[in-house]
Structure 1
Amino acid sequence: MSQHETGDQIPSLSGYSEAELDQAFAGVLREVETSAAALADSDAVEAFRLQWLGRKQGRLKAISDAWLAPAPVEAKKLIGQRFNVLKSAIEERLERAGKATHTNALEAERIDITLPGTQPRVGAEHPLIKTQNELLAIFARMGYSVGVGPEVETDYYNFESLNFPPGHPARDTQDTLVVANQDRKPLRDRLLMRTHTSPVQIHTMETQAPPVRIVIPGKVHRNDAADATHSPIFHQLEGLCVDTNITFADLKGTLDHAMKELFGSSVKTRFFPSFFPFTEPSADVQISCPFCGGKGCRKCKHSGWIELLGCGMVDPAVFGFVQQKQPAYDPKKISGFAFGMGIDRIAMMKYGISDIGLLYSGDLRFLEQFG
């Protein structure tokens, strides 16, 4: 039988003797060796597999169709034996090439553990957050929990329930930012950006019977022109303590201890009469200057004292508003005190920051100083 090429590029067998079959399969094996020698990566290995072992168009299937299928019965066994040897040789070379390319890939991805590592940039607490957390930790050690509430409040919770009746002059001191298109609503239901965190005191008392001891950190908003000491957004920390037999002495002791924890044990406090609609009596609190020890310096304007916060005993009228939802707040049976301070101002004092705008600028050159 003369040898010629079929449509699948498989040469026809010249005969079915063992010598002729050995010669034909040896030629195919040389072709396999040539193809296997060029397998440099996983894509080439996959192409080799499809070329030889593909179920529909692989070379082995074409050889089976061209040599085994049309062979006489007496030759099928001889061809089948050689066919199985050829298939095993292809699979062996495929496995060997696969392991080699996998090893090469691992070698390419190998990490040199002797090289110095990449130093990650470690962040730091923002001075506002750092100061807030210090204050929260101080009051937590005194048994206070943390209260939170919405920044968008109703007029009722921001003013009326805190003893700011409609038309009260104290409302004008807070330069309120009011949500637009509220004119058709009753005044107490109109929405605004909270001007202090005090509404959380009312929310808490309405849902929790005394005793209550909470501190309330948070962002507040007022229509203030921005300058070195004013910002339309700033942060407050307020506190509320309500129980039986709470006195002004408890308030003084609490704040004196908190200021000593924050600024050092040598700091002293003193109280001056003041006015807040939601406390009676009310007081402003000054601390002896922690920078000069009370001797007088630029930071305390050479007075030796710095005014830091406001406080007072909770006005019975405030308990009257709370009683509408929580009868346990009977001003004849319970009493309490409240206080509030600006976190921004304390942070500026502690870290020597002269412009409040730096706290909100996002300037890394400024923030990196606290890393």
Structure 2
Amino acid sequence: MTGFSTRAIHDGNPNDPGTGAVIPPLHLTSTFVQDGVGKLRSEYEYSRSGNPTRTALQETLASLEAGATAYAFASGLAAEDALIRAHTRPGDTIVIGNDAYGGTYRLIDQVYRHWGVENRPVDFTDLDAVRTAVAETKPKLLWVETPSNPLLRITDIAAVAEIAHLAGALLVVDNTFATPYLQQPITLGADFVVHSLTKYLGGHSDAVGGAVIVRDAELGEPIGFLQNASGGALSPFDSWLFSRGIKTLSARMRTHSDNGEAIVAAIADHPAVSAIHYPGLESHPGHEIAAKQQRRFGGMVSLQVRGGADAARKLVESTRVFQLAESLGGVESLIELPAAMTHASVSGTELEVPADLVRLSVGIEDSEDLVADLLQALDQLG
């Protein structure tokens, strides 16, 4: 098998046989001419059902995540929705991490619970707690984020996969924070990998999309059916943007990781910082597992500040290079207050995040500028 960067550039993206163009064409079409009733010129008849540009992206994703096939959707939540509908029925249970992304938990708890699918939050870093939850609920799916959003907890994917499979359950891993460059959950036993393509895979904050990558084709068939039947497929133009972004993923992730490490080192002893959540720290409880299953530690950093919620709000409103915005994974650095922004929907639940928590998506700007910006903002907290 060729290397990751080579596959990111070439798999699913051969040069155009007609013109020799090194970038495959963007197929902005809703429909395809047939050479007779039911006589398709190729495999395509209507772009909701299939489009060459989306196919190219899906082939790249499957290659990078070591999956059998992939399905691209109009958002990360649309991808998760299709997976859940394909593989659960009323009466089933999903065991989900108690530090999951707020949008994922909202979908599972506030949408699927009313459809008869129950959920059980659990700390996936506690394998005994996972075994207990699985024994008590007999779940259909175990849903893991590692690193988790926003507390950057680390789950041992191989160990949880063993627990899931012994119980006849399937394991879903949200690999958005790590990307396939840092870890490939399917090689560690996961059955499904989900991504918000919007984040690192796109990398430029200019498109919204999501994907499901499956371990084997049979698991993917009902997801592919729903991609067409429910109409949540990713558009050709956004597919082209994500394919373009993926070509530079490995280079970007190396810089994100370098800058994340520089930020952590610079703020570690700042008097305004009460805690840093970053798996690259040897003091992080998941450091050894992360070092085993990840290539690097990435560019996501969360910190807590002295002075509580008011100080955290002042911090996110005081940076100049870091921009106050939701989302993550772009080339630009972003800062946000999860309790009031991305995770406001889990307020009052077991998944509620600390009010003094600040999440950084460390971009690929010059590390010296990022460090200086964050330090000047922290200095304002006194």
TM-score of the aligned structures, taking structure 2 as reference length:
0.21
Higher radius of gyration, 1 or 2: 1
TM-score of the aligned structures, taking structure 1 as reference length:
0.21
**RCO higher in 1 or 2 (8 Å CA, sep ≥ 6)?**
2
